[in-house]
């Protein structure tokens, strides 16, 4: 599920270049697309004041109804904010919302100067060159990072071949299209050369990587190559379909060892086989089998998952099984979402839609349960010494910084507050955990 967070892209590009005001909405995969579009512009610099921008870029999300609403609101507010500026900046809107509702959007918001669906995003630099706004476009592999100083996302594929009944992704982003392994390795080297120390692999389903390229055990081959790269301290895998976590793959991952982190993001979506089958999930049996298989190879693994409550036909006994499953498995991190009937999906037409209040109540019950589990798990790290990647200064007080330990993925999990006399953003420091809360840690750097 997408996080639907708004990120103002901040870079260290040439301040004499093209002034760009940019918003990237939705998931990390979208964020990579934004960074690539910015990289295609050649010399540029971000501006915080929209009135000083020459180019405005909004990369939208259109996955579920709240994302559609957020993207639409930001487009309209931005168009209104620049309507009377002279000279008026060029307003560019790209991404999933355009691919999903392109013709309707063009009619509804004529103030937008340039629309780019997902298949056209790599043309941004060329389009602006034709309009005379940039002198030349950069190489298509160029990328302006927005996640410095520690981590970067590495997207290894696009699209999805699964046909989950609630999901709009295949209709928006198309079928699976894996990037060639040599291209991914080259991009990884580029990222590491920018003093990035953690690579977060993202795709709709990492375990499907390479199938469309006729690669046998494609993910294994790719990870084997990435793990050998100099300067890589953490390698994190996000979004692993449970059906793809075979004993062979898990055995390979266990043998691979560092820099691979024993952190697994597995979108299980539900625990009852009736609901999983109704969802059209590729793995519709007992998800405990997947968790047991994983913990056999990684007894101390940190598990993250996402669940949907209120799917059509979900009865109290279905939810009871899901609740008991969460209590038993004890995820390090968990996201719970209420079902949204999305236009064009099979599940939107199903009978027995669950009421809004019931869905919200079930979500709240699961999140209350998870809060207690999270607090208990984190309490177990009290007084332990751990490595912390320092990301930014905290706004709380001088000398306090925000960072992450190995089981905290960027943007979606908790954080570690760390203090120390000499630490700086970008450092990896050894620290003692001095306090734990429901979702966060507090640490003191070794002196």
Q: Which CATH superfamily is domain 151-343 in?
A: tm_1862 like domain (3.80.30.20)
Please, are residues 2 and 62 in contact by the beta-carbon 8 Å criterion?
no
pLDDT of residue 401: 96
Residue 14 has pLDDT above 90, yes or no: no
- What is the value of pTM for the model shown? 0.93
Residue 420 has pLDDT above 90, yes or no: no
Peptide bond into 366 cis (omega under 30): no
pLDDT of residue 13: 42
pLDDT of residue 1: 34
Give the fold, CATH level 3, of 5-130: Rossmann fold (3.40.50)
Task: Give the separation between CA 430 and CA 403, rounded to whole angstroms.
Answer: 12
Peptide bond into 87 cis (omega under 30): yes
pLDDT of residue 341: 93
Q: Pinpoint the residues of the chain covered by CATH 3.80.30.20.
A: 151-343
Task: Give the separation between CA 362 and CA 182, rounded to whole angstroms.
Answer: 45
pLDDT of residue 133: 77
∠ CA 4-50-19, nearest 5°, is 105
* Lowest pLDDT segment from 109-113, 282-286, 350-354: 282-286
Residue 43 has pLDDT above 90, yes or no: no
Q: What does the pLDDT average to over 350-377? A: 97
Burial 387-417 (b: 16+ CB within 10 A, else e): ebbbbeebeeeeeebbbbbbbbbbbbbbbbb
pLDDT of residue 20: 93
Cα dihedral 241, 242, 244, 245 in deg (nearest 10): 130
Task: Check residue 134 and report its DSSP letter.
Answer: S
pLDDT-based confidence at residue 387 (cuts at 50, 70, 90): very high
User: What's the mean pLDDT when you consider all of the chain?
Assistant: 91
Q: Pinpoint the residues of the chain covered by CATH 2.40.50.140.
A: 385-445
Q: Pinpoint the residues of the chain covered by CATH 3.40.50.12160.
A: 5-130
DSSP string, 217-269: THHHHHHHHHTT-TT--EEEE----GGG--HHHHHHHHHH-TTEEEEEE---B
pLDDT-based confidence at residue 101 (cuts at 50, 70, 90): very high
> Which backbone phi and psi does 175 adopt, to 5 degrees?
-75, 170
Task: Give the separation between CA 40 and CA 138, rounded to whole angstroms.
Answer: 5
Q: What share of the chain is helix, strand, coil (3-state, %, to 5)?
A: 35, 25, 40
DSSP string, 300-360: T-EEEEEEEES-TT--HHHHHHHHHHHHHH--SEEEEEE----TT-GGGG-SSPPPHHHHH
Q: List the structure tokens of 215.
A: 């690669």
Residue 372 has pLDDT above 90, yes or no: yes
pLDDT tens, residue by residue, 126-181: 888 888 777 666 655 578 999 979 999 999 999 999 989 999 999 999 999 999 99
> Which backbone phi and psi does 252 adopt, to 5 degrees?
-60, -45
Please, are residues 266 and 302 in contact by the beta-carbon 8 Å criterion?
no
pLDDT of residue 7: 38
Give the N- to C-terminal CA distance of the chain in Å, as an integer. Answer: 40
pLDDT of residue 17: 67
Residue 82 has pLDDT above 50, yes or no: yes
pLDDT of residue 137: 65
Q: What does each C-alpha distance from 109 to 204, 295, 330 come to in angstroms?
A: 30, 51, 46
Tally of CA atoms within 13 A in the half-sphere of 279 that contains its CB: 25
pLDDT of residue 16: 53
* Lowest pLDDT segment from 195-199, 207-211, 340-344: 340-344
pLDDT of residue 6: 33
pLDDT of residue 46: 87
pLDDT tens, residue by residue, 203-233: 999 999 999 999 999 999 999 999 999 999 9
pLDDT tens, residue by residue, 260-284: 999 999 999 999 999 999 999 876 5
Q: What does each C-alpha distance from 411 to 110, 116, 318, 356, 387 come to in angstroms?
A: 34, 26, 31, 27, 18
6 forms beta bridges with 25
Which long-range contacts does 354-360 make (Cβ < 8 Å, 24+ apart)?
Answer: 354/310, 354/311, 354/312, 354/314, 358/310, 359/309, 359/310
CATH class, 385-445 region = mainly beta
Residue 234 has pLDDT above 60, yes or no: yes
Among 315, 338, 405, 328, CA closest to 370: 328
Residue 5 has pLDDT above 50, yes or no: no
């Amino acid at each position: 599920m997408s996080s639907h967070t708004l990120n103002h892209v901040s870079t260290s590009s040439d301040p004499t270049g093209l002034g760009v005001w940019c918003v990237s909405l939705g998931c990390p995969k979208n964020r990579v697309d934004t960074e690539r579009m910015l990289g295609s512009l050649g010399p540029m610099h971000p501006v915080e004041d929209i009135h000083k921008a020459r180019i405005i870029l909004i990369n939208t999300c259109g996955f579920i109804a709240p994302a559609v609403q957020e993207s639409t609101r930001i487009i309209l507010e931005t168009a209104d904010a620049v309507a009377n500026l002279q000279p008026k900046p060029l307003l560019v809107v790209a991404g999933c919302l355009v691919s999903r509702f392109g013709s309707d959007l063009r009619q509804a918001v004529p103030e937008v100067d340039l629309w780019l669906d997902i298949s056209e995003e790599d043309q941004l630099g060329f389009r602006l060159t034709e309009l005379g706004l940039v002198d030349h476009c950069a190489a298509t592999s160029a990328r302006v990072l927005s996640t410095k100083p520690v981590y970067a996302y590495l997207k290894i594929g696009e699209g999805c071949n699964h046909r989950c009944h609630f999901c709009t992704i295949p209709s928006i982003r198309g079928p699976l299209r894996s990037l060639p392994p040599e291209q991914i390795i080259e991009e990884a080297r580029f990222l590491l050369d920018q003093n990035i120390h953690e690579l977060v692999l993202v795709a709709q389903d990492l375990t499907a990587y390479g199938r469309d390229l006729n690669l046998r055990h494609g993910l294994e081959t790719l990870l084997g190559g990435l793990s050998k790269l100099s300067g890589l301290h953490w390698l994190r895998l996000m979004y692993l379909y449970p059906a793809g976590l075979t004993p062979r793959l898990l055995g390979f991952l266990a043998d691979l060892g560092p820099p691979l982190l024993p952190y697994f993001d597995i979108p299980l979506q539900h625990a009852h086989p009736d609901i999983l089958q109704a969802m059209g999930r590729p793995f519709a049996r007992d998800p405990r089998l997947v968790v047991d298989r994983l913990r056999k190879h990684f007894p101390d693994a940190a598990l993250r998952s996402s669940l949907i409550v209120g799917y059509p036909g979900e009865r109290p006994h279905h939810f009871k099984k899901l609740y008991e499953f969460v209590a038993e498995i004890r995820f390090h991190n968990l996201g719970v979402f209420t079902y949204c009937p999305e236009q064009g999906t099979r599940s939107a037409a199903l009978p027995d839609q669950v009421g809004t209040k019931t869905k919200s109540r079930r979500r709240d019950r699961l999140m209350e349960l998870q809060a207690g589990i999270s607090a208990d798990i984190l309490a177990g790290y009290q007084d332990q010494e751990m490595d912390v990647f320092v990301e930014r200064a905290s706004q709380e007080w001088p000398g306090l910084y925000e960072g992450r330990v190995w089981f905290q993925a960027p943007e979606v999990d908790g954080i570690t507050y760390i203090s120390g006399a000499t630490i700086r953003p970008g450092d990896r420091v050894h620290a003692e955990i001095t306090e734990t809360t429901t979702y966060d840690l507090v640490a003191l750097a070794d002196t």
